[in-house]
Amino acid sequence: MNRQAIDALLNKINDSATSEGNPRTKEIVNRIVRDLFYTIEELDVQPDEFWTALNYLGDAGKSGELGLLAAGLGFEHFLDLRLDEAEAKAGIEGGTPRTIEGPLYVTGAPVSDGHARLDDGTDPGQTLVMRGRVVGEDGKPLANALVEVWHANHLGNYSYFDKSQPAFNLRRSIRTDASGNYSFRSVVPVGYSVPPQGQTQLLLDQLGRHGHRPAHIHFFVSAPGFRKLTTQINIDGDPYLWDDFAFATRDGLVPAVKQAEGAQGKPYGVEGNFALIDFDFTLFKERDNLPGAEVERLRAEA
């Protein structure tokens, strides 16, 4: 079929509407359908290929892997870059880079003031202390900002989704003190991969790509009147640091991991040697002329 014939079919489909419907939904869906029709024609997609793809998406939905696919195909990173571009046009540049949320956040983590311990003492690995401040774009500290933090265990699994872990293991929310300080104690995370027999890896194999993620720690950082920051830091030295299947590693999000000991650990209840990361978060004031930084999406609730 040529473009003229395809467009005639599309017009017939669009004209079949019996009510006004939602203009924004119509605009987006009609555009997606049009582009897929063109793709099917230009690449000579066969019926069995089409239905294989549709069934694949159904299986990915059943297994809960659509969020992984969104990250692995670059959609989440692309959305971040579009927000960066919108902020740059509004004069917002610098500060802490945003990066992907991923699909494994869980609402309702316990809230601590100033400092929190994320692990329960049973997770193997080197003890980690991470500390820093939350500041505004003027460099002034933000008291009572909320730092939500979560990361995987030594097997690359996240509590709630991994029922063998205690509730909210390696997940906490921390309110900054009057000087904008936060800190937490945990264990140094390790890198991990998507489920090897899952739908995401199935597609990555077809694309000739791996499904590995470098070791990382996720954050939401928020304060009233400021744009919410979604980000993560990566652990320096990981072999996949700059080869993340989810494209989440960014300049400015790979802090130094220092080795500390003795009295340095006393304020955090740590004895002996431990890893230490110092990292400050910068939040920008909310602007009326920008898309929201608070993303509405379905998230797990414990």
Residues belonging to the active site: 158, 192, 213, 216, 218
DSSP letter string, 171-230:
EEEEE--TT-EEEEEEE----EES-TTSHHHHHHHHHT---EE--EEEEEEE-TTB--EE
Residue 292: strand, helix, or coil: coil
In degrees, to the nearest 5, what angle opens at C-alpha 167 toward C-alphas 143 and 59? 110
Contacts of 172 (CB under 8 A, 6+ apart): 109, 110, 111, 112, 116, 117, 118, 148, 149, 150, 184
Residue with tokens 């802490």, as numbered in its chain: 96
Q: Indicate the angle between helix axes 3-14 and 23-42, nearest 10 degrees.
A: 150
Residue 151: strand, helix, or coil: coil
Residue with tokens 């059943």, as numbered in its chain: 62
Residue with tokens 């079929």, as numbered in its chain: 1
Quote the CA–CA distance of 281 and 284 in Å, as a whole number: 10
DSSP letter string, 60-108:
HHHTT-HHHHHHHTTHHHHHHHHHHHHHHHTT---SSPP----S--EE-
Which class for 222: exposed (0-12), middle (13-18), buried (19 or more C-beta within 10 A)?
buried
